[in-house]
Amino acid sequence: MSTPRRLLDPDRLAADLAAGSRAALSRAITLVESTRDDHRELARSLLTTLSGSAADAVRVGLSGVPGVGKSTFVEALGTLLTGRGLRVGVLAVDPSSVRTGGSVLGDKTRMPRLAADPNAFIRPSPSAGTLGGVARATAQTITLLEGAGYDVVLVETVGVGQSETTVAGLVDTFLLLALARSGDQIQGIKMGVLEFAVVVAINKADGDRVVEATAAARDLAGALRLVRGRSAGSPAGSGGSGWSVPVLTCSGLTGDGIDEVWAAVLRHRTTQGPDGLADKRSRQRWELTWALVRDELEQRLRRSVPVADTADRVRPQVLAGTLPAPAAADAILRAFDAS
């Protein structure tokens, strides 16, 4: 089914987007998520038009294992922010969507209040074939949300796989939710994630969990100081030294501590300073440029008929051991270059 030309005019779409049309925003996101060549072309013109605008959102990454309370937290934080007159976009980067086409994140029914809030926009994870594809779509969607005047963009991800690395490369501040377990231990933190986290919050600190959450937060803060003190570094996303990771407690359910978590995010932003932030964004743009190139090349490789033909031809020989893998790779690359 072809989409009417009028709907896909990038200038018109950019104007509608800037005027706050949610329909235009949805349409634009669908464009950047598409793998169709003509859609990608349009998406590129649209993004070029938008990149001229100075709009800049507070970009926050949020991670935590399933069940840690991410949706409840986003619902609480998002509502708090829209209540202050801010416009909030919520995106998801979910590796499971790459494998299954379905997503455990970003489902609007998980955040009913925010989903009904005219100042909030929730988008589930794109299932764009590869994590690179998802990163590309998410990065572009952030630009779209900024072009549409959103003040805050929350990018949510589950604490598995490479998704934190991907999200950390797209945001200013990376926030990790964890849980206290009985015995004051911390649950649901993989050490890798702590490399990116610049603010940690022990969630579900309510009712009879408050005491253990507070103790767990204190212990983790101490452990982090020790680890980071030894390696003499701040986390990768912190924008340099001078930032010591606060470990807070909060409850998405009651709303307790949510404001303090947000204050820590803003404090981290201030610590990075306008130059630090601009620097970080510049580096991210260049990394994204290459991610886009790699993604596009992968798509072209996958679509190329001569490549598929050559692969079919050399595969049995490689499997049988009669053609060395490097020679087969050369043949496939020659077919690609000639196509």
The residues of the shown chain that bind ligand GDP, judged by CB under 6 A, are 64, 66-72, 203-204, 206, 251-253
Burial 107-143 (b: 16+ CB within 10 A, else e): beebbeebbebebbbbbbbbbbbebbbbbbbbbbbbb
Nearer to ligand GDP, 77 or 224 (CB): 77
127 or 251: CB nearest ligand GDP: 251
Q: How far is the CB of 192 from ligand GDP (least distance, A)?
A: 18
Six token digits for residue 152? 């805050």
Q: Report yes or no: 138 and 91 within 8 Å, Cβ to Cβ.
A: yes
CB 214 within 8 A of CB 248: no
- Smallest distance, Å, CB 257 to ligand GDP? 9
Nearer to ligand GDP, 77 or 245 (CB): 77
CB within 8 Å of 30: residues ≥ 6 apart:
none
Q: Which is nearer to ligand GDP, 64 or 169 (CB)?
A: 64
Read off the tokens for 316. Answer: 């049995």
Token representation of residue 183? 């015995």
**Residue 69 or 237 having the CB closest to ligand GDP:** 69
Q: How far is the CB of 73 from ligand GDP (least distance, A)?
A: 6
* Burial of 149: CB neighbours in 10 Å, binned 0-12, 13-18, 19+: middle
* CB of 100 or CB of 282, closer to ligand GDP: 100
- DSSP conformation letters of 117-152: -TTEEEEPPP--SSHHHHHHHHHHHHHHHHHTT-SE
- CB distance 45 to 144 below 8 Å: no
* Residue number with the smallest Cβ distance to ligand GDP: 69
Which of residues 70 and 228 has its CB atom nearest to ligand GDP in the complex? 70
As measured in angstroms, the least distance from the Cβ of 142 to ligand GDP is 21
In the complex with ligand GDP, the residue whose CB is nearer, 64 or 246, is 64
**In the bound complex, what is the minimum distance in angstroms from residue 65's beta carbon to ligand GDP?**
7
* Shortest spacing between CB 258 and ligand GDP, in angstroms: 9
Within its chain, how far is the Cα of 101 from the centroid? 17
Least distance in angstroms from the C-beta of 330 to ligand GDP: 47
Rounded to 5°, the CA angle 140-337-41 comes to 25
CA distance 176 to 268: 14
Q: Closest approach of Cβ 64 to ligand GDP, in Å?
A: 6
CB of 176 to ligand GDP, least distance (A): 12
Distance from the first to the final alpha carbon of the chain: 28
Q: Which is nearer to ligand GDP, 124 or 132 (CB)?
A: 124
Residue 215 burial (10 A CB sphere; 0-12, 13-18, 19+): middle
